[in-house]
């Protein structure tokens, strides 16, 4: 744990409930938590107690960004099936993904998380759902890589048990049995989940999607997760093809189907949720079901634009996600703030998503989705010190009227410094704990192995 640190002089967007901003503020960090903050110069007693000072002049200071949905393993298959819709894209990639193992998944996770960190992401939510026979401890490999980089991880033990021969989308060789998936999910939670306030690793249970898992797996996973006290995650209402699949196979839409199996609730979050009716939106809000909004991936796969304004206004928890890098090759969470603002305006008009609302999705919204709003997502006394300083002194942002607009509408600023639980993880755009060139070499090698 780093020693006491005093950050001074930056424009601080706290993302607290009141939307407090400090035009030239200070933040004191000790023991991995925020000890104090305020406008202007820090009081003399604070300055005397904090000899390690970080100059934040010319920077925007925000909470660390929270990524609520990713598929880290897909970092190895960027650039594939470039002009496909979701179902065709999946069919093209399943055979290659079915060769993933502990080694290649670890390299992919390192690459994807390195890029996330350099885009201001302090908390990574990953959804891994392909576990070929004999592939080793993939969840463990992801946990290992996040620890090496110094990032907070919300891993999931995903699964698929509905193969093509049973009417599902994935090929039979890419799925598990229901019992094996449930047993492995329980084991991952037992081995890696940490429920403490300052936890660096939490694990959720995450059957993949209505078109790749059975009703039995969905129902029993919900019961298992609740018995273990962990969260639930899946994909939902992503495409019109998924909606047609659910109506044809189950006689109802995705939200009705998932609700019938116990999959609406404050311990659940779903990725995408593009095709929600007004009634679906109301049920998400009433039950506290979270949404991981993935605007770039939804655009890449032509899935549509999620009704984010309606969800937020109704009170549903909504965060941002990069989604898999095979459907969002840039892999940067910081860029999703701008994308979310722009796509919401395309859907609902120019005032639909102010930049501060978009930043809130990436911070406190994501913390709510992951059930960690008490610990992260805003800069407040007592919270964990996950903090980003965005460089605004370079030519891309020099003279901009609003520092928050620099992040929410401009090009992604360089990360001058990112702290996770008070420790520096990125400084001047570079990783502190790992070598990005070494990671790039691992990724290149692993991608070659996966392609065969």
* Three-state secondary structure call for residue 30: strand
In a shared domain, residues 69 and 160: yes
Q: Across-strand partners of 77?
A: none
The domain that contains 15 carries what CATH number?
A: 2.30.40.10
pLDDT of residue 405: 98
Residue 443 belongs to some domain of the structure? no
Q: Say which residues have a Cβ less than 8 Å from residue 18's Cβ, sequence separation at least 6.
A: none
Given a cut of 80, whether residue 215 has pLDDT beyond it is yes
In a shared domain, residues 70 and 56: no
Domain that holds residue 18: 5-63+378-431
pLDDT of residue 52: 84
Q: How confident is the model at residue 1 (pLDDT cuts 50, 70, 90)?
A: low
In a shared domain, residues 350 and 397: no
Residues 343, 292, 262, 156, Cα dihedral to 10°: 150
Residue showing tokens 């991608």: 447
In a shared domain, residues 363 and 382: no
In a shared domain, residues 233 and 314: yes
In a shared domain, residues 393 and 318: no
- The DSSP line for 360-376 is HIIIIIHHHHTT-TTTS
Residue 206 belongs to some domain of the structure? yes
Write out the H or E segment, with its range, that includes residue 29: strand 21-30
The domain that contains 102 carries what CATH number?
A: 3.20.20.140
Q: Taking the complete model, does pTM exceed 0.95, yes or no?
A: yes
In a shared domain, residues 289 and 397: no
pLDDT of residue 452: 77
pLDDT of residue 51: 85
Q: Say which residues have a Cβ less than 8 Å from residue 274's Cβ, sequence separation at least 6.
A: 237, 238, 239, 298, 303, 304, 305, 306
In a shared domain, residues 47 and 107: no
Mean pLDDT of the chain: 97
Q: How confident is the model at residue 112 (pLDDT cuts 50, 70, 90)?
A: very high
In a shared domain, residues 113 and 218: yes
Residue 440 belongs to some domain of the structure? no
Residue 259 belongs to some domain of the structure? yes
Residue 438 belongs to some domain of the structure? no
In a shared domain, residues 42 and 144: no
Q: In the listed set 347, 369, 391, which residue is the last one of a domain according to the structure?
A: 369
Residue 448 belongs to some domain of the structure? no
Residue 94 belongs to some domain of the structure? yes
In a shared domain, residues 283 and 421: no
Given a cut of 90, whether residue 286 has pLDDT beyond it is yes
Q: How confident is the model at residue 451 (pLDDT cuts 50, 70, 90)?
A: confident
Residue showing tokens 């404050």: 266
In a shared domain, residues 399 and 309: no
Q: Count the domains in the chain.
A: 2
Residue 50 belongs to some domain of the structure? yes
- Give the C-alpha separation, 408 to 251, whole Å: 41
| 220-266 pLDDT tens trace | 999 999 999 999 999 999 999 999 999 999 999 999 999 999 999 99
Q: How far is CA 227 from CA 204, 215, 370, in A?
A: 12, 18, 18
């Amino acid at each position: 744990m780093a020693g006491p640190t005093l950050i001074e002089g930056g424009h601080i967007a706290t993302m607290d409930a009141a939307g407090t901003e400090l035009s030239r503020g200070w933040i004191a960090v000790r023991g991995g938590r925020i000890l104090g903050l305020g406008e202007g110069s820090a009081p003399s007693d604070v300055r005397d107690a904090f000899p390690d000072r970080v100059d934040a002049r010319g920077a925007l200071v925000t909470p660390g960004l929270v990524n609520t949905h990713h598929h880290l393993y897909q970092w190895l298959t960027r650039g594939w099936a470039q002009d496909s819709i979701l179902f065709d894209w999946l069919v093209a990639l399943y055979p290659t993904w079915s060769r993933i193992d502990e080694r290649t998944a670890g390299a992919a996770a390192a690459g994807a998380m390195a890029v996330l960190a350099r885009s201001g992401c302090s908390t990574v939510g990953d959804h891994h759902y392909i576990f070929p026979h004999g592939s080793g401890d993939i969840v463990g490999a992801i946990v290992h890589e996040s620890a090496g980089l110094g990032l907070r991880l919300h891993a999931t033990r995903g699964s698929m048990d509905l193969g093509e021969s049973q009417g599902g989308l994935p090929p039979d060789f890419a799925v598990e049995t229901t019992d094996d998936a449930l047993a492995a999910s329980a084991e991952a939670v037992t081995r890696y989940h940490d429920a403490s306030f300052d936890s660096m690793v939490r694990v959720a249970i995450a059957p993949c999607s209505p078109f790749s898992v059975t009703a039995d797996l969905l129902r029993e996973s919900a019961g298992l997760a609740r018995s273990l006290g962990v969260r639930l995650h899946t994909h939902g209402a992503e495409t019109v093809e998924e909606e047609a699949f659910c109506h044809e196979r189950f006689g109802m839409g995705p939200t009705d189907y998932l609700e019938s199996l116990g999959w609406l609730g404050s311990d659940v979050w779903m990725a995408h949720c593009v095709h929600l009716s007004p009634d679906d939106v109301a049920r998400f809000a009433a039950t506290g079901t979270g949404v991981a909004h993935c605007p770039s991936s939804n655009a890449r796969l032509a899935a549509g634009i999620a009704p984010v304004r309606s969800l937020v206004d109704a009170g549903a928890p909504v965060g941002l996600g990069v989604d898999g890098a095979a459907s969002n090759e840039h892999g940067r969470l910081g860029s999703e703030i701008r994308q979310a603002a722009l796509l919401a305006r395309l859907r609902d008009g120019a005032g639909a998503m102010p930049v501060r609302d978009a930043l809130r999705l990436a911070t406190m919204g994501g913390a709510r989705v992951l059930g960690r709003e008490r610990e992260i997502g805003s800069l407040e006394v007592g919270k964990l010190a996950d903090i980003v300083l965005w460089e605004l002194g370079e030519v891309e942002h020099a003279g901009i009227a609003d520092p928050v607009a620099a992040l929410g509408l401009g090009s992604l600023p360089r990360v001058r410094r990112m702290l996770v639980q008070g420790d520096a993880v990125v400084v001047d755009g570079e990783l502190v704990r790992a070598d990005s060139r070494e990671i790039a070499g691992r990724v290149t090698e692993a991608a070659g192995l996966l392609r065969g």
